[in-house]
Amino acid sequence: MSDFKFIDLFAGVGGIRIPFDELGGSCVFTSEFDKFSQLTYAANFGETPQGDITLISEKEIPNHDLLLAGFPCQAFSQAGLKKGFKETRGTLFFDIARILDYKKPKAFLLENVKGLRGHDKGKTFKTIIATLNELGYETLESKVLNAKHFGLPQNRERIFIIGFKKHVNFQFPEPLNTPTRLGNILQKRVKDKYTISDKMWTGHQLRKEKHAKKGYGFGYSMFDRDSEYTSTISARYYKDGSEILIKQKGKNPRRLTPREACRLQGFPEDFVIPVSDAQAYKQFGNAVPVSLIREIAKQIVIHL
């Protein structure tokens, strides 16, 4: 693969970066606001990301071929007034737009929650696409892809938006549909501290019952080694581990360990976790499915 330069914005713990490193890219700039994520990033990539992107001038950012960003989803305050660039001010998407406008990289990859498409009755997504068009990106493609179709035992849908300055025939990767099994990522021996207490287990069951009566599906879901995949791990997993619980013989179910959460997102086995369990759950809950990004990255690099 050819050598190309990229930047990593809203970098989290570097999940989007890993496949582009593997494909011969060099990361020339990275930004991440959260200090605990910065620690994990530094432990794995040997560099500490710069902080708040809203305080960094686009002029200070090195030239690059590709911009990567898993940005937070926010409403645009003036949505519906005048489509495009001006409307994105005051949101974190604006920071992506101003960097694209000034640096004009050949391509970008943006990642967000599936709900971005319907956010604010679809206005948010329309504004994003209008802005990217306005900035001169001729090829614009977006698609919702699911981690479970790309070899990970997790049902996690995310939207990806890809743009190229010139016209290219970009194709999103086809699902690999490799069989998945939760047992492949579960640890053999797990400390007792991951087994949930009687009090918490009772609480979980009562809450689920209450929601079921109201017709909601909220609450925990139970999985075992033979489950094909889990539900989506969220950044709130550390609060009570309520969405994904693992069955155990003869005792209360347990939550995932941080290493299992790391594997569930497709991070490499030697990925260092230097933070507390609570921070680790939050970081992996916010991360991107690395195995899925790897397939997208291969398609992007062909056209760079």
Catalytic annotation, residues: 73
State the Cα–Cα distance between residues 290 and 14, nearest whole angstrom. 9
State the Cα–Cα distance between residues 115 and 10, nearest whole angstrom. 18
State the Cα–Cα distance between residues 10 and 78, nearest whole angstrom. 24
State the Cα–Cα distance between residues 303 and 65, nearest whole angstrom. 11
Q: Please report, in angstroms and rounded to a whole number, the separation of the first and last CA atoms in the chain.
A: 10
Contact assessment for residue 147 and residue 200, using Cβ atoms and an 8 Å cutoff:
no
Q: Tell me, what amino acid is at 277?
A: D
The two structure tokens encoding residue 237: 């997993």
Q: Cβ contacts of residue 242 below 8 Å, gap of 6+?
A: 204, 207, 219, 220
